[in-house]
Amino acid sequence: MLDQNIIEQLEALVGKENVLTGKVDLVAYSYDATADLPRQMPDVVVLPTSAEMVQEIVRLARRNKIAIYPRGAGTNLSGGAVPLKKGIVLSFQKMNAILEVDAANLTAVVQPGVVIAALNSAVAQHGLIYPPDPGTVATATMGGSAAENSGGLRGLKYGVTKNYIMGMEVVLASGEKVRFGGKTVKNVTAYDFSNLFVGSEGTLGIITELTAKLIPAPKYRRTMMGVFKSLADAGNAVAGIIAAQVIPATLEIMDRMTIRTVEDFAHIGLPVDAESLLLIEVDGMSEDVVRAEAEAVMQVVTGNNGDLKTAETDQERDQLWTARRNALPALASLNNMVVLEDATVPRSRITDMLIACQDIGKKYNLTLGTFGHAGDGNLHPTILCDKRNQEEVARVHKAVDEIFEVALRFGGTLSGEHGIGVAKMKYLGDELGQSGLNLMRNIKEALDPEYILNPGKMVPLREN
């Protein structure tokens, strides 16, 4: 427990109303969206309202060797926001201002607590969008999604968060504040700091401001559903669409288990006899190009034994995306523990990976559904189990080990978008090797030698 004196110093820094120590509050910050991780209450939750406050909090924490856990909306799926060593949770819910929308330069400057959907609402009146689109756009924050380098449904055509962060203000573990990047399209001054801090999961510095890139909103789009009798046909259609040189904004897949569960959950008329579905959206500025791309998609889908349905109205389109966004909540409703992975493979191995996931589910006698961003090779095998059944939980762990082993064997990676956090740290050496782990530690220790920023996440501690 923290000394009362530290709490009083925090209250003096940010105001009493921005320091939470009640048990109900501490419980609320003891977990994030990740299943299967022990909960840990922090000693205190602090809600800063300025970067200067963040600097002072960091200096206080460093002097007293207290861990700091930055937190956005807590929707990450790798345990990134869990305060493993107690200490301070730094919540950005009060630093949620959109500081500027510069339509002439296609940029926006935001505080880290801005919710992604709020930024999109603010820029829509200028005919612009901020493309990164995780399933949690309506809750996840700009700071949290930058720290995770979140991807989402539009990654295939538009890229991921790192492609849209042009500059930042970051408070370092020393308490210094650095600013880098900005509104210029080109900037090769110094190391590429934005790309160092994007995806660093709160372990290298605390993001207090971001400059985001915006793009013109596409004017036309076509949303389609490909229905397949086999996973292999669906996987081949994914490869075929890309080979036809069509890059859809979205190219999502669901297996049979996910289709049935979503249909039971949302009642939107999905074909429950299908073995697999592809949800495909093409978009652009030219109606002719969008129409031609939709036709090319249709040829590939039918050429791979699929049926293609096109959404004719906005309502039909919304229903299809509701189906996709409901995949995880629907699966999660089936049991009391849901383990969602994001093993990612080269696109050419998508079919192999889908089949491997199903086989692993059968081998360990588990309920396993797979959905995900097929166009990116980014699958979300999702395992449901009863957390009170220790024997079943042990089988889940074995299955997860095997999923990652297969993903790496197929030339893939441990995480396409959910990050390493606590959940995947034990596999990191399998992908990076010892020299890669050493490099991670060297970077971490250069910036945060005392491991006060999000300790126990992403970077394994040294063994001695």
Ligand X SMILES: Cc1cc2nc3c(=O)[nH]c(=O)nc-3n(C[C@H](O)[C@H](O)[C@H](O)COP(=O)(O)OP(=O)(O)OC[C@H]3O[C@@H](n4cnc5c(N)ncnc54)[C@H](O)[C@@H]3O)c2cc1C
Q: How far apart are CA 158 and CA 378, in angstroms?
A: 15
Which residue stretch of 69-77, 97-105, 188-196, 308-316 sits at the interface with ligand X (rule: CB under 6 A)?
Answer: 69-77
Q: How far apart are CA 408 and CA 417, in angstroms?
A: 16
> Binding to ligand X by residue 143, rule CB under 6 A?
yes
Q: Note the Cα 281 to chain centre separation in Å.
A: 20
Q: Helix (H, G, I), strand (E, B), or coil: what is residue 35?
A: coil
> Binding to ligand X by residue 145, rule CB under 6 A?
yes
Q: How far apart are CA 6 and CA 386, in angstroms?
A: 41
> Binding to ligand X by residue 375, rule CB under 6 A?
no
> Binding to ligand X by residue 70, rule CB under 6 A?
yes
> Binding to ligand X by residue 140, rule CB under 6 A?
yes
- Could you say which of 14, 81, 331, 360 contacts ligand X (CB under 6 A)? 81
CB of 202 to ligand X, least distance (A): 3
- Could you say which of 55, 96, 120, 150 contacts ligand X (CB under 6 A)? 150
CB of 367 to ligand X, least distance (A): 18
User: In the complex with ligand X, which residue's Cβ is closer, 260 or 373?
Assistant: 373
> Binding to ligand X by residue 144, rule CB under 6 A?
yes
Amino acid in the structure at residue 226: G
- Could you say which of 71, 177, 213, 324 contacts ligand X (CB under 6 A)? 71
User: In the complex with ligand X, which residue's Cβ is closer, 40 or 454?
Assistant: 454
Burial tier of 3 (Cβ tally within 10 Å: 0-12, 13-18, 19+) = exposed
Which residue stretch of 138-146, 227-235, 305-313, 425-433 sits at the interface with ligand X (rule: CB under 6 A)?
Answer: 138-146
- For 1, other C-beta atoms within 10 Å of its C-beta total 9
Amino acid in the structure at residue 127: G
Which residue stretch of 179-187, 202-210, 232-240, 429-437 sits at the interface with ligand X (rule: CB under 6 A)?
Answer: 202-210
> Binding to ligand X by residue 75, rule CB under 6 A?
yes
Integer-rounded Cα Rg, in Å, for the chain is 22
Which residue stretch of 60-68, 139-147, 232-240, 423-431 sits at the interface with ligand X (rule: CB under 6 A)?
Answer: 139-147
Site for ligand X in 399-418 (CB under 6 A): 417-418
Rounded to 10 degrees, the C-alpha dihedral 408/413/419/420 comes to: 30
Strand partners, 382: 340, 369
User: In the complex with ligand X, which residue's Cβ is closer, 304 or 454?
Assistant: 454
- For 39, other C-beta atoms within 10 Å of its C-beta total 11
CB of 288 to ligand X, least distance (A): 31
> Binding to ligand X by residue 77, rule CB under 6 A?
yes
> Which residue bears the tokens 């509050």?
25
Size of the site for ligand X (CB under 6 A): 37
Burial tier of 196 (Cβ tally within 10 Å: 0-12, 13-18, 19+) = middle
User: In the complex with ligand X, which residue's Cβ is closer, 171 or 257?
Assistant: 171
- Could you say which of 83, 131, 151, 235 contacts ligand X (CB under 6 A)? 151
Question: In terms of DSSP H, where are the helices of 217-342?
Answer: 231-243, 256-266, 287-303, 314-325, 327-332
DSSP state of 462: P
- Could you say which of 123, 173, 207, 239 contacts ligand X (CB under 6 A)? 207
CA 160 vs CA 136, 157, 195: distances in Å: 14, 9, 12
Interface with ligand X (CB under 6 A)? 32-33, 69-77, 80-81, 92, 112, 134-136, 140-141, 143-145, 147-148, 150-152, 201-202, 206-207, 328, 417-418, 454, 457
